[in-house]
Structures are given as structure tokens and as C-alpha cells.
Amino acid sequence: MARIVMKFGGTSVADIDRIHNVARHVKRETDAGHEVAVVVSAMSGKTNELVGWAQTMPKATGAESPFYDAREYDAIVASGEQVTSGLLAIALQSMGVDARSWQGWQIPIRTDNAHGAARIQDIDGSEIVRRMGTGQVAVVAGFQGIGPDNRIATLGRGGSDTSAVAVAAAVKADRCDIYTDVDGVYTTDPRIEPKARRLPKISFEEMLEMASLGAKVLQVRSVELAMVHKVRTFVRSSFEDPDAPGMGDFDNPPGTLICDEDEIVEQQVVTGIAYAKDEAQISLRRVSDRPGVSAGIFGPLAESNINVDMIVQNISEDGSRTDMTFTVPSGDLEKAVSVLEKVRDTIGFDAIQSEAGLVKVSVIGIGMRSHAGVAAIAFKALAEKGINIRAITTSEIKISILIDGPYAELAVRTLHSVYGLDKQ
């Protein structure tokens, strides 16, 4: 007998039929004698609809938050998970499985005060553990907790993955299964490249890079938590028959295991390709080349909560002026330009040029630590397809390349194939 956390994403609970199907997955595990906590997302599309409604509301003048009141934004957008947790609890009860729903505040799942992008600080799992011991399934609303201000706080988009891993760590679960609409983590997004292969295992570090660089199959924070708390996490499909052979295999469930790199016997040089759309590029022309200039540019952007990603600074010809290029999310472009215009005189530059709608494609693999020439292969392959490279950044285990938006899919497929990741 074991303790399992099962998380079901938006497409897995998209309608009443699918919720009944989820209940069958849960019943399979309780019938096998396991203690189960379930974490649910809102029905797919629901959170977008709720965010859309919040966005139609008037904005407070001069407010930093894009919403009138971020605490009310959270009250609005957290409601989708409340609905699915109640529906699933009823579906389970109707099948003879004892179950009840839990909102974040009822457990409680305590977060910090960053409404809209809160981080979980502490979960008191004692009551749900006690009830799981009596055979009751805890159906937890994902994506939400309660802040120090005693208000509902949400964890950022895709946050139910993080709720699931955090609950798994809190109740010391033997496994955390993330059920979604694909049957595991693939070498790249299978919706873009049908030749993508499912990985039996992927290391925490690689999954962290994949998720940070755009593969939204897991929220970044959930991977960090799984890594820190050593939560045995599987990504698997809710769309398979819940009672098909092997589905209840405890040690080897079908799907992808996220694990330590030593658990992976056949390590490849390149494990996967990720892409992130909606990147924007800003270039500051003829910036004064003197100490303090970078701080003058990136300090005010950070204070405005704008995430700057790739940064390229040219070597100036005469030592007095240079060009500085960097990327921000497209959605922050307007705000970034206005922040920079305000500090133009203190920084000292001639012009701002900007462009939205760019894409960052990334090649990820732990094997890069010990293999040279991996980047050169990417550059050559993209050149052969006539794809222009705007900026490059690298780390020990990844190469990221900024390109024009329309080339995204071609670039992903080209890189996927050149590193031999295509299905045989």
C-alpha cells in the first residue's frame, strides 16, 4: 500500500464525461489499496475565460498591477478549480469512493503575498493525511492557496502542477502522477513535431530547462519542487483506458519519470528541443559605454517586474558608445519601452528599436557538458534552411537561439532532426 498524488490538468477535466473518466483512474488506485490525494485544474479554457473577464475591468490609475486589484483577480481566477474539485468529489462518491473537496485555504496551503504569481510557503498536510488513512480521497483544488493577508492567492498559469508536487512533498507521497493530454514528456512538443519521441525518463535539470524554455507540459516551479524534495514524479496520460493493462503498475507506470541524472543509463548528448513564442527584442542604439550603464538599464526594468532574458552587448568601436540588445516577453514590450524612455537621459542613448513576435528555440541536453561542437551543428542546420539568427545564449546544458516568428516550426523540426531525435 502506498500514498499517491494524482494531478489532472484542464483537458483531463474538460467536461462531465472526462471528470467521470478521471474518477475511474482514481478508483483504480484506491481499489488497489493506495491512499490518494487528487489535485485538479479548472476545465480547459475556463481560466482563460476568467482572466479575460478580469481584464475587461477598469484599471486603477497608476497601479503597478495590470488588474484593478490583484487580490480580486485571484478571487476570480481561482474559481475554476473550485468547480472541478466539487464535481470530481461527487463523481467519486457516486462510484462508491469516499471523497471530499478541499480548497487551498481549507488545508491550508499557505503562500506568500504575490497575488497572481504566489509561491507556496507551507502546507499543513496533517488533516488530509488523517482522512486518507480512513480511505477518504482528498480532492484538492489546484492553482490556489491562502496568502498572509488571509486572501486567496493563485500560483501563476499552469500552477496546478506545482500544487500537486507541493502536496506530494507535504504528505510524503510515494509518487506524484501528473496526468495530461499527452502520454509523457517528448523530445519536443508533439503538437509541432509528430516525429517527437516519448522519453522514458528525463533528469530534473533537463526538465527544468525544457519547462523554463517553453515546454509547458510542467510548470517550472513544480520541477524545482520535485527536485528539491525528491518527489518521484511521472507525466502520463488521462486519455488512456483507466483499466488498460499496466495502468496500475506501481513501480513502472506508463509515462515519463522525472528523476536524478544517475538514474538514466543511456544519456544522450541532446535530450530535447523547446521553443517559446512571443519574445520581443529591444535594441538601444549608441548607449554610453561606461560603468553603471547596464545597472541603469536593467535596474528600472527589474523594478517594473519585467523579465529580461537574452542580453547582447556589442564591443564599441571607439570606446564611447555601444549597442545593447535584449529580449523581454512580447506582452511587456510596451511597458519596457516606456520605462526606458523615462530613464533615457540618465542612461544616455540615441534610439530605441523594438520588435515583437519573435521566437526562442532551445536545444537541451546534459551531455553538452562533455561534448564540444553541439552549438555549431545547430547554427549550420538553421543556416541551411535560411533561418537568420538574431541572438544566442548558452549555458552548460542548453543553447537558446532567437529567430523570426514565422520560422518557429521549421526551426524546431530542423533541430529535432539534426540531433537524431526523430522517431526511427
Q: Is the peptide bond before 254 cis (omega within 30 degrees of 0)?
A: no
* Nearest to ligand ASP of 178, 340 (CB atom): 178
Query: 44-73: which residues touch ligand ASP (CB under 6 A)?
Result: 47
Stretch that binds ligand ADP, among 6-14, 292-300, 381-389, 403-411 (CB under 6 A): 6-14
Contact (Cβ atoms closer than 8 angstroms) between residue 277 and residue 406: no
Rule CB under 6 A: choose which of 4, 5, 9, 411 binds ligand ADP.
9
- CB of residue 35 vs ligand ASP: minimum separation in angstroms? 23
Burial class of residue 416 in the structure, from the number of CB atoms within 10 Å of its CB (0-12 exposed, 13-18 middle, 19+ buried): buried
Is residue 313 helix, strand or coil? strand
Choose one: 118-126, 180-188, 305-313, 402-410; the region binding ligand ADP (CB under 6 A): 180-188
Q: How far is the CB of 44 from ligand ASP (least distance, A)?
A: 8
User: What amino acid is encoded at 41 in this protein?
Assistant: S
Residues making up the chain, counted from first to last: 424
Contact pick of 11, 80, 177, 361 for ligand ASP (by CB under 6 A)? 80
184 binds ligand ASP (CB under 6 A): no
* Least distance (Å) between residue 77 CB and ligand ASP: 8
Interface with ligand ADP, residue 158, by CB under 6 A = yes
- The footprint of ligand ADP on this chain (CB under 6 A) covers a number of residues equal to 20
Q: What is the DSSP letter of 406?
A: G
For position 143 contacting ligand ADP by CB under 6 A, the verdict is: no
DSSP letters along 16-45, please? HHHHHHHHHHHHHHHHTT-EEEEEE-PPTT
Q: CA of 14: how far to CAs of 5, 100, 157, 382, 383, in Å? A: 20, 20, 17, 38, 42
CA distances from 354 to 85, 228, 302 (A): 44, 38, 18
Q: Does 182 bind ligand ADP (CB under 6 A)?
A: yes
- Asked if residues 221 and 278 have their Cβ atoms less than 8 Å apart, the reply is no
CB of 12 to ligand ASP, least distance (A): 10
**What residue ranges bind ligand ASP (CB under 6 A)?**
9-10, 41-42, 47, 80, 142-143, 157-161
Q: Footprint of ligand ADP on this chain (CB under 6 A)?
A: 9-12, 41, 158, 180-182, 185-186, 188-191, 210, 215-217, 272
